Structure 1
Amino acid sequence: MSVPPEAALVAALGASPAPVVLWWRDDDAGRDHPRLASLLALAERRRAPVALAVVPEWLEEACAARILGCPLATVLQHGIAHADHAVPPGKKIELGGSADHAALARDLVRGRERLAAAFGARFRPVLVPPWNRIDPDLVPGLPALGFKALSTFGRRRAAEPVMGLRQVNTHLDLVAWREGGRALSPEEALSALAERVRAYDGEPIGILSHHLVMGDAALATLDRLLTLVQDHPKARLLGMGTLLGEARW
């Protein structure tokens, strides 16, 4: 008889020799949207810190006010304008492709300054590349542009890819983009997280959501996942500020 996914996650957490550190990132914020309101309400209900990847060029005043009204939300920088500069047949990319690197650097700084002005201490100088892609040649220059960390998707290659730049990745995407952008079922999400926990090596496990494409069922899955994590004594759901200040990986 197979073990139910919920029980498998609880068992994996319980079997971990050390507390498992997790964090939550939500992408594509900037416009005031009912689904963003629902996501922030979930964060408050579950006492779950959420790092919102905000697109500087999308930022609306009402959205900024909504985010600032949620004490558990911090803000990361989601590229510049979420514009695709891919050279066919390459995959979508904003921070690379046909874009001029000097222009990208200039616009990244402007975006960082805009978010810092809008969110103050709630902003963390962490770069989240749209589509989780960035030209490797741009990475060494990120500290000089004012960024303290880089966050993409997948397991890290190095805790500090270049001097002065931490890497804080996500690992469990709650949306199956290769299947038309459908949301993972509760069973899929819980099973995938249990697998990550069993392979835990000290790197914080990042949960990735996308409020713009998540309906009620997807939010319910996220709610269930967060509840299990928050209620388990071996799990630690941390905010980005804590990760940047205390992580030693």
Structure 2
Amino acid sequence: MTSLWDYARRELDIWADSSSSKAHFWIRDDDAVETSTNLKRLSDVATRHETKIGLAVIPGEITTGLQEYLAESVHQFYPMCHGWKHINHNLGKKPAEFGPDRPIASMIEDAEVALRSFRQFFGSSQPIFVPPFNRITPALVSALPQVGFAGVSLMPSYFERKLLQLSSRMQWRGIVRMPEFKDGHRIDVHLDIIDWKARTAQSVEVVSDCLVQQLRGRRLGLLKSDAPIGILTHHLVHDEPVWHALESLLDFLRSHASVEFIDVGQWIDGYAADQRRVACRQATQGG
């Protein structure tokens, strides 16, 4: 029987035959402020599929109840800093809390306040910044390491998505490569399981096509092969079709031997350690 995941499975099979490493995946869920039935259901998903979810928490709105819940759910969730208060400052335009219309000094100040609040709740030594509405001005991205953030989690830009679509379709091996990210560590999300116009689940065909592009881009060298592929969820707005779509995607990925889910906390710690070793080696050679 033909499966809607066959297209993606064939690409994973090619990946397995052509690479000694596994394809890395992770999950990021946005907009957490308090405990809820949906959050507990998401925790069950994490437990069932043996993965830790990066939970983007809004530090200016978080409740002590959520703090206590996450302290008991360290195997299911890794807290991430979701802006400051998730306020749209771009009225009349595409929403953004840290968009280009705000003075950079104001955005840095909000990011600093957000980090202090986040650390009071979670004490993370490697905090990752997740911009609300998945939009952020490049000027603030460059400033985040100085503020104290160890990394940033974004969505690929329109240019990145189009280049990936084209190079994946044309099978350009080694001809094109995405520019290297210079402003700290970056761990993105790529597969949004929600169709925001319809306010329900994205079709399997759309998710599968995006999955194939991400896998093929890594296999062909457009992206680093070990760059994790991120799945984006929003537990507060999940209807039953969205829950079903998430379970279906995770069941499919977990069934393939070339797939591995990362612990985002361990990933950022390991990435930071690798960068320190590189810097130390360069300093020694330079001396």
Please give the secondary structure, in 2, of the residue aligned with 1:93.
coil
Q: Does 1:84 align with 2:83?
A: no
Q: Does 1:213 align with 2:237?
A: yes
Give the aligned partner of residue 170 of structure 2.
none
Task: Supply the distance in 1 between the matched residues of 2:68 and 2:126 (Cα, whole angstroms).
Answer: 17
Of 221, 224, 235, which residue of structure 1 is paired with 2:248?
224
The TM-score with structure 2 as length reference comes to 0.76
What residue identity is the alignment partner of 2:181?
Answer: E
Of 134, 149, 159, which residue of structure 1 is paired with 2:151?
149
Please give the secondary structure, in 1, of the residue aligned with 2:6.
helix
The TM-score with structure 1 as length reference comes to 0.87
- Structure showing greater radius of gyration is 2
Unaligned runs of 5+ residues in structure 2 are 161-177, 276-287
Please state how far the C-alpha of 1:176 moved relative to its aligned partner: 1.7
Please show how residues 2-17 of structure 1 align to structure 2 within 5 Å: 4-16=3-15, 17=18
Q: Does 1:199 align with 2:223?
A: no
Of 72, 75, 79, which residue of structure 2 is paired with 1:75?
79
Please state how far the C-alpha of 1:134 moved relative to its aligned partner: 0.9
Task: Supply the distance in 2 between the matched residues of 1:78 and 1:158 (Cα, whole angstroms).
Answer: 25
Per mean C-alpha deviation after superposition, the further-off stretch among 188-197 and 56-65 is 188-197
Please show how residues 26-65 of structure 1 align to structure 2 within 5 Å: 26-65=29-68
Task: Supply the distance in 1 between the matched residues of 2:130 and 2:141 (Cα, whole angstroms).
Answer: 12
1:158–1:167 CA contact under 8 A, matched in 2: no
Task: Supply the distance in 1 between the matched residues of 2:179 and 2:80 (Cα, whole angstroms).
Answer: 20
Q: 1:105 to 1:118 in 2, by over 3 A?
A: same
Q: 1:81 to 1:46 in 2, by over 3 A?
A: same
Per mean C-alpha deviation after superposition, the further-off stretch among 65-74 and 24-33 is 65-74
Give the aligned partner of residue 108 of structure 1.
111
Q: Does 1:166 align with 2:165?
A: no
2:88–2:96 CA contact under 8 A, matched in 1: yes
Q: 1:176 to 1:118 in 2, by over 3 A?
A: same
Q: Does 1:236 align with 2:263?
A: no
Please state how far the C-alpha of 1:191 moved relative to its aligned partner: 4.2
Please give the secondary structure, in 2, of the residue aligned with 1:242.
helix
1:175–1:181 CA contact under 8 A, matched in 2: yes
Count of residues in Structure 1 that have an aligned counterpart in Structure 2: 243
Task: Supply the distance in 2 between the matched residues of 1:81 and 1:141 (Cα, whole angstroms).
Answer: 19
% identical aligned pairs:
27
Per mean C-alpha deviation after superposition, the further-off stretch among 221-230 and 144-153 is 221-230
Q: Does 1:22 align with 2:25?
A: yes
1:161–1:167 CA contact under 8 A, matched in 2: no
Unaligned runs of 5+ residues in structure 1 are none
What value does the CA root-mean-square deviation take over the aligned residues?
Answer: 2.4
Please give the secondary structure, in 1, of the residue aligned with 2:29.
strand
